Structure 1
Amino acid sequence: MPDLLIELFSEEIPARMQAQASADLKKLVTDGLVEAGLTYAAAAAFATPRRLVLSVEDLTAESRAVREERKGPKVGAPQQALDGFLRGVGLTVDQLETREDKKGAFYVAVIDKPGRSAPEIVAEVLERTIRTFPWPKSMRWGTGTLRWVRPLHSILCILVGDDGAEVVPLDVDGIASGNTTRGHRFMAPQPFSVTSFEDYEAKLKRAKVMLRPDERADAIWQDATSQAFANGLEVVEDRGLLAEVAGLVEWPVVLMGRIEEIFLDLPPEVLQTSMKEHQKFFSVRNPKTGRIERFITVANIEAADDGATILNGNQRVLSARLSDAKFFWDNDLRIAKAGMQPWLDGLAAVTFHNKLGSQRDRIDRIAALAREIAPMVGADPDQAFEAALIAKADLRSEMVGEFPELQGLMGRYYALAAGRDAAVAAAAEDHWKPQGPSDAVPTAPVSVAVALADKLDTLTGFWAIDEKPTGSKDPFALRRAALGVIRLVLENKLRFDLYSLIKSRTAHPHWPLELFSFISERLVQLFRADGIRYDVIQACLFADNDRLVEAKRLVEKGASESILDQPFPDPDIFRIAQKAKALQATLETDDGGNLIQGFKRANNILTQAEAKDGVEYSYGADPKFAEDAAEKDLFAALDAAEEQIAPAMRDEDFGTAMAAMAALRGPIDRFFTDVQVNAESQILRRNRLNLLSRIRQICLSVADLTQIEG
């Protein structure tokens, strides 16, 4: 079976598009081949700045012949129906067969599709792929109609079999396929022919082209770190930049340059960001001082002077860029040392939202909330208030205006320059966090207070003006803010009433419930990502949610809003997390898993009896009416469990409480095996129903087991 090699050779493909383009080429071609009846053993795609490449191994030489039968209309059907069927199958009426079933005679079209050769199919699939390729941006050139990311110069397409390589003939807008390609634009521009993928890759390397992106990245990193190590330095790791630079060169040549002395006192993050964003340089750090002292640049050519001219030009451009950064830094420091007032005043002129006021209005709200939260998280209220007031001041700085990704970080530098306490400065940096699932969570108390205040103000503010997420739309990133609140609480093991804190931000009777439910939904998602079952989360989180939904419905119908003043069910997120983990662990044991069946049986019998009798069996189970040994054992087991569960739940020793509940499995099972609940004696029946009520009450005091599936 032959191997297939395809290369689409063009002008430079943007680095950010290469990985997706190689994946698209692989999918479009292999899917097309399979749909046309060919199979293959393996396929791999590659990209360099000037080429997309696909290698397919062990492609079948031709597609199989196929016989297809299509059922048509009944014999005697209207001519219009018959004509439509004939057009669809491409046959005439005398080519149809007639067959019969229980409903009568009908037409059948038998279509024989002969096998097609691999070259014919490959040419068809590749031309369609080229003409419909899903580039994010594409262009036309010359007088042709073809669109490609940059002008397409050549198409290499060969099938390699035991008897050698053959060109798959196709022509796309005057670009005819062949078996030739070119190497490096400057160091080996001459065309050369290839006979297989192995021959192609080897000749490319001799022509100064590394085909594989991971090989180029490895070569860059190894050479960069070796040069840095030889000078007692280290390269600041940046995997994203490494992948991007590997997509900018076909033959990476690593060069290390110096940063002028006058720029070395700039914050290392400023140097790193400026060099990365403007020049795609790697930063090289002195591990003893933490200063960025040199840079790594990657050229695409081996120069006769070993890169001296390239480095000289890069250093001149870098000096111009860093001069701008130093100018911003010096100006910002002057304002910071004077107290940042111009920045704070300027935030009053920046609209946060037309219904929520300016950034300064928002800062005032966050500062007041941070002072309120501070005692709950062990922070100094005055420091939390101070930190919140200046946390967003750096948004008006020139440095953050140039590099928005440095917001917060520059706030810390400016706060320290202004003589603020280290805890206040740290809060200025950390109050944005966490912004994503991989972002670190602040742990310093002042930082935690301000970060929580920032996110809760966002949530309560947009909820109050009815700007809530809908479906996949979340323009104000409220889901991210809610997850940030949850992570701050859980990872810092914070204990406070989140619902009451939300409710204190408004007099509105309804939306605090909605907002808390919204945050709870994010909590469910986070727990499920950690492997906790959905029904377990429901059992620990929404035990009394039905009551709250009903309360809200009654208020909307005109009932007193005082019913909403009842405590919200377990607003302590950290406690919910601990309870859910303990319940899941218990359910994974034999006793815990089987207890659910006994609980549900007790609950179902009790619920049906209460509905039938019109009474609630919730009090009065008396051991003196117990007749059976299993019945007496259950009384004793419930007493023992209650003695353990009540104090354990008070002390939040959920593992002990769950274990005591699971220990009821045996006595409950024996009770249902040996005892008839609906006894003829009404005294016995009532006593046993009240005993079932004790099972329900004790289990529900731990978690809402009605939510557990199975």
Structure 2
Amino acid sequence: MTTKNLLIELLVEELPPKSLNKLGMHFAESLMNGLKQQHLLQSDAVMTVFATPRRLAAHITQVLAQASDQLATTKLMPVSVGLDSEGRATPALVKKLSSVGVEAFVVSQLGRVKEGKTETLFLERKVPGIALAAGLQKALDDAIADLPIPKVMSYQLADGWNSVHFIRPAHGLVALHGSEIVPVSVLGLTSSKVTQGHRFEASIHPIIIRDTESYAQQLETEGAVIASFVERRARIMQQLSTAAAKENLQLIQDEALLDEVTALVEHPNVLVGKFPPEFLSVPQECLILTMKANQKYFPLLDNEGRLVNTFLIVANICPQDAHLVVDGNERVVRSRLADAKFFFEQDLKHTLAARIPGLDKVVYHHQLGTQGLRIEYVRAIAHEIGQWLGGNLLAEQAGQAAQLAKADLLTGMVGEFPELQGVMGRYYALHEGLGDTIAYAIEDHYKPRFAGDALPRNLVGVCVALADKLETLINLFGIGQVPTGDKDPFALRRHALGVVRILIEKDLPLELNQLLKQAIGIVKDERIAQLWMQRTATAKSSVQAEEAGKGLTHRNARSQISAEVSDQLIEFIYDRLASNLREQGYSAQEVDAVLALHPQHLNDIPRRLAAVRTFATMPEAESLAAANKRVSNILKKAAEAIPAEVVPERLQAPAERTLYQALIEIKDKIEEAFLEKDYTIALQILAELKAPIDTFFDHVMVNTDDALLRSNRLALLKALQQAMNRVADISRLAS
């Protein structure tokens, strides 16, 4: 059966740029899947996606004009219901066949199949293949209905009576099979060969598409439109790189901005603009964010990574004289940067410490009070962690950084650009002469903010980051705000993973249980709220006093945190740790074996995992893992209390005495390796136990009728389990 290529284009008004690529892919994939389900595609059909600000389109190869006839099987009913005692059709069967379009039939032509104890009738018949027009109509309707559109628009059609709903008003529909129009309609539009090019640059209005293969070429040559999102993105990137190299500058790589700009233009043209050098006195993060977020410009850096006053514009027109376009953009960016400069200069008039009382008016959570109260708890936790990690000096620095960490939330710059919280705190701290240590800690206490983000640069930042995340986790778990399913409005999974990464990657010698216990104790300490109340009670502002009173009433939400919160949090943190380790490439068995012991020093976990991976390659590993699993099962089923120590005099069988002696011989070696954190050696020593363990299970009955003998053998197995599971629960490695 002959095939032709198919082209579908929906011409619309400007689509949302941040979702254009996703919309284009979804539209094309839905069309292809719909045609495939209706058997209108050959197996080697290929899809090409087109997406511009004003169109969604798809080119699909090997499309049939008519699907081949299909053999369809329809389940009817049990034989006992469909046929009477003489084998004739019952009224129920006649009615069922009539409902599927079969009026005349012979009972012998119906198939039978055994389903358990019931024999069922079924009808097998040929169904004519669907025509392309009908099949495409269904696929097109489904594709539009399934588009991931969060909010639709309602607009009237040209007749003035009917309205339709879509993401943007649609103005044209092209549907071609080869060079022939496929008669379909959608959103009040009827298919044709007519489309539109660039609003200003097109040389022909409208464009008549000759056939499916000329679409992209005609749009570019006649319509000044690069239809492919991927190709248009590549051209923009090439033009940006060329322009930056010509200026001997470096381009800031930003994939999200590149995608957004690609979705804003149909005929890209990169131009070079400049702004007055005086604005470079403003922190470069502010200038970069202003240019990217507000104007979609690409800032440039010199060879030392410093922002320069040159930037790149991706225009959607190509005038012979571009200076008017550049001048217009430069006027706009000057105004934007002047705003940033104003905010920065105004912010410098007040110290971070002077802003702290203002946090008493900023609600943190309606059940937990204000940010002013919250930072008192964060400061106390950070101080305690600092004491553990570095003594008095680190504790004092951590407390100071925690006290100032949220102050920049009240600055004009962060109010305009929330993304700069922490970053601006660093600049203001440096301006005040607080030094790099405190300044970097203020910026870094939010880290890691996302997967793969950097960790705090110094120990002060580590203390404050841990304190901030722990306070958040404890309090929100305490009021029942536990993540469920895919809902995590307070990003608690990210906070837990941040704690995990800091403890592991910074190699901190902190025990997780002790860390949580101490932090929970601080959070529940009502004296902190009382001291905070004493400070805020002197506030002159009635609003501040009112908010302070609210904060005091919320202290009960903290003081009432139950003992179960600690257990919940530990499981939650280990769960996030397990997911993270699996994402790093460790197997589920390896992760389960290590985390089954709930190791308290998370910084040891990578070493334990490496040891388990090495152990698994040993020839004795499988046998030892199976034996450990057998031991665990026996101990779980023990109905009596198991003694803590083995009584050597009660060991009767040679095999149990041999196993006991082997345990005595390796016990000190394992302990020494474990204390030196040489977990690989600790596990390799277990190979010496393989032979005595095998002999023990071959010749010794553990659950003997003799109670003393049985109890002693259970104690021996318990000692064996303890020796084998110092590094990991190796029974989890058993297949």
TM-score over 0.5 for the alignment? yes
1:199 matched to 2:208: no
Q: Is the 8 A contact 1:340 1:393 kept in 2?
A: yes
Give the structure 2 partner of residue 523 of structure 1: 577
Evaluate the alpha carbon distance shift between residue 517 and residue 110 of structure 1 in structure 2; reply closer, same or farther with a 3 A threshold: closer
Tell me the distance in 1 between the aligned counterparts of 2:414 and 2:221. Answer: 46
Distance 1:194 1:463 in 2: 61
The answer as to whether partners of 2:82 and 2:92 remain within 8 angstroms in 1 is no
Distance 1:172 1:675 in 2: 80
* CA 347–84 in structure 1, closer or farther in 2 if over 3 Å, else same: farther
SS at match of 1:2: strand
| Distance in 1, Cα, partners of 2:372 & 2:512 | 25
8 A contact 1:443–1:492 mirrored in 2: no
Closer/same/farther in 2, CA of residues 669 and 39 from structure 1, 3 Å limit? farther
Q: What secondary structure is seen at the aligned counterpart in 2 of 1:469?
A: coil
Query: Which residue number corresponds to residue 458 of structure 2?
Result: 444
Residue 63 of structure 2 corresponds to residue 62 of structure 1: no
* 1:277-302 CA distance string (max 9 Å, x none): 11111101222471331111111111
Deviation sequence 1:391-448 (CA, Å, 0-9, x none): 1111000000000001100000000011102100001111111122121111311110
* Identical counterparts, % of pairs: 35
Per-residue Cα deviation, 1:256-289 (whole angstroms, up to 9, x for no partner): 1011122121111111101111111110122247
Paired letter, 1:658: L
Say whether the 8 Å CA contact 2:244–2:250 is kept in structure 1.
yes
Shift of 1:18: 1.3
Distance in 1 between the 2:50 and 2:269 partners?
20
Q: Find the counterpart in structure 2 of residue 224 from structure 1.
A: 240
Aligned partners of 1:68 and 1:110 also within 8 Å: yes
Over 3 Å counting, the alpha-carbon distance change for 1:596 and 1:340 in structure 2 is closer
Please give the alpha-carbon distance, in whole angstroms, between the structure 1 residues aligned to 2:257 and 2:583.
29
User: What is the rounded CA distance, in whole Å, between the counterparts of 1:148 and 1:438 in structure 2?
Assistant: 38
Alignment of 1:534-573 (within 5 A): 534-543=588-597, 570-573=599-602
Alpha-carbon distance in 1 for matches of 2:146, 2:664: 74
Structure 1 residue identity aligned to 2:574: S
Q: Distance in 1 between matches of 2:435 and 2:246?
A: 40
- Structure 1 gap ranges (5+): 544-568
Query: Structure 2 length as normaliser, TM-score?
Result: 0.84
Of 302, 308, 315, the residue aligned with 1:292 is: 308
Contact between 1:677 and 1:688, CA under 8 Å: does it hold in 2?
A: yes
Alignment equivalent of 1:375, drawn from 387, 390, 393: 387
Partner Cα distance (2:148, 2:22) in 1: 10
Which string of whole-angstrom CA distances, capped at 9 and with x for unpartnered residues, describes residues 689-709 of structure 1? 665454333213443345554
**Aligned partner of residue 664 in structure 1, secondary structure:** helix
Using the TM superposition, give the Cα deviation of residue 84 of structure 1 relative to its aligned residue in structure 2, in angstroms: 5.8
Offset from partner CA, 1:560-607 (integer Å, 9 cap, x none) = xxxxxxxxx643222344324422431243322221122233454566
Given the superposition, is the C-alpha separation of residues 683 and 377 from structure 1 closer, same or farther in structure 2, using an over 3 Å criterion?
closer
* Matching of residue 301 in structure 1 with residue 301 in structure 2: no
* In 2: Cα distance, 1:353 partner to 1:656 partner: 50
For structure 1, which segment, 530-539 or 233-242, has the greater mean C-alpha deviation from structure 2 after superposition? 530-539
The counterpart of 1:619, out of the listed 637, 646, 657, is 646
What's the counterpart of residue 536 of structure 2?
none
User: What residue number does 1:264 align with?
Assistant: 280
Following TM superposition, by how much is the alpha carbon of 1:83 offset from its aligned partner in structure 2, in angstroms? 7.4
Structure 2 counterpart SS, 1:578: helix
CA spacing shift, 1:203–1:666, aligned 2, 3 Å: farther
Instruction: State the secondary structure of the residue aligned to 1:380.
Output: helix
Please tell me whether the aligned partners of residues 486 and 573 of structure 1 are also in contact (alpha carbons under 8 angstroms): yes
Match of 1:416 in 2: 430
| Aligned match of 2:21 | 19
Please name the residue that 1:277 is paired with.
Answer: 293
Shift of 1:100: 9.1
Give CA deviations for 1:443-498 in whole Å, capped at 9, x if unaligned.
31111011111111112222333333334333322222111111111110001123
Moved more, 468-477 or 29-38: 468-477
Contact 2:177 2:212 (8 Å CA) reproduced:
no
Counterpart for residue 677 of structure 2: 652
Distance in structure 2 (CA, Å) of the matches to 1:466 and 1:152 = 47
Unaligned runs of 5+ in 2: 525-561
Task: Kindly provide the amino acid, as one letter, of the partner of residue 74 in structure 1.
Answer: G
Match of 2:377 in 1: 365
Partner Cα separation in structure 2 for residue 681 and residue 537 of structure 1: 40
Give CA deviations for 1:619-657 in whole Å, capped at 9, x if unaligned.
1246985546xx676455433321311111222221111
Q: 1:25 to 1:666 in 2, by over 3 A?
A: same
Deviation at 1:310, TM superposition (A): 0.6
In terms of mean alpha carbon deviation, does 58-67 or 189-198 score higher? 189-198
Give the aligned partner of residue 586 of structure 2. Answer: 532
- Cα distance in 2 between the residues matched to 1:38 and 1:232: 54
Answer yes or no: is 1:246 the counterpart of 2:262.
Answer: yes
Give the whole-Å Cα distance in 1 for the aligned partners of 2:267 and 2:456: 43
- Residue by residue, what CA displacement relative to the aligned partner does 1:352-391 show, whole Å, maximum 9, x if unpaired? 1233221111111111211111133347121111111111
Q: Which residue of 1 is the match for residue 34 of structure 2?
A: 32
User: Aligned partner of 1:90: which letter?
Assistant: G
Of 52, 60, 82, the match for 1:74: 82
Distance 1:686 1:247 in 2: 74
User: Which residue of the partner structure matches residue 175 of structure 2?
Assistant: 157
Contact 1:97/1:109 (8 A) holds in 2? no
Which whole-Å deviations, capped at 9, do the CAs of 1:125-144 have from their partners, x for residues lacking one?
32453466443333223334
Name the SS for the 2:728 alignment partner.
coil
Q: What amino acid is aligned across from residue 315 of structure 2 in structure 1?
A: A
Change in CA separation of 1:251 and 1:616 when aligned onto 2, cut-off 3 Å: same
Partners of 2:342 and 2:14 lie apart in 1 by 35
Aligned to 2:724: 699
Find the partner of 1:329 among 335, 339, 344: 344
1:62: Cα distance to partner? Answer: 2.4
What does residue 539 of structure 2 align with? Answer: none
- Structure 2: how far apart are the matches of 1:703 and 1:67? 57
Aligned with residue 85 of structure 1, among 96, 100, 114: 96
Q: Is the 8 A contact 1:252 1:299 kept in 2?
A: yes
One of 468, 476, 479 as aligned partner of 1:465: 479
> In 2, are the aligned partners of 1:623 and 1:632 still within 8 Å (CA)?
no
Aligned to 1:399: 413
What's the counterpart of residue 562 of structure 1?
none
Q: Is the 8 A contact 1:63 1:116 kept in 2?
A: yes
Aligned to 2:626: 597
SS in 1 for 2:191: strand
For residues 280 and 225 of structure 2, the distance between their equivalents in structure 1, rounded to whole angstroms, comes to: 36
Q: In angstroms, what is the RMSD of aligned CA positions?
A: 3.2
Tell me, what secondary structure is at the counterpart of 2:6? Answer: strand
| Matching residue's letter, 1:250 | E
Deviations 1:131-170, CA, capped at 9 Å, x for gaps: 664433332233343333222222111112xxxx221122
Task: Give the secondary structure class of the aligned counterpart of 2:253.
Answer: coil
Does 638-647 or 257-266 show the bigger shift? Answer: 638-647
- Partners of 1:204 and 1:233 in 2: CA distance: 34
Query: What is the aligned length?
Result: 672
* Counterpart-to-counterpart distance in 1, 2:657 and 2:648: 11
1:289 & 1:685 partners in 2: Cα distance?
73
Give, in whole Å, the separation in 2 of the partners of 1:361 and 1:668. Answer: 59
Instruction: Kindly indicate whether structure 1 or structure 2 has the higher relative contact order, using CA contacts under 8 Å at least 6 residues apart.
Output: 2
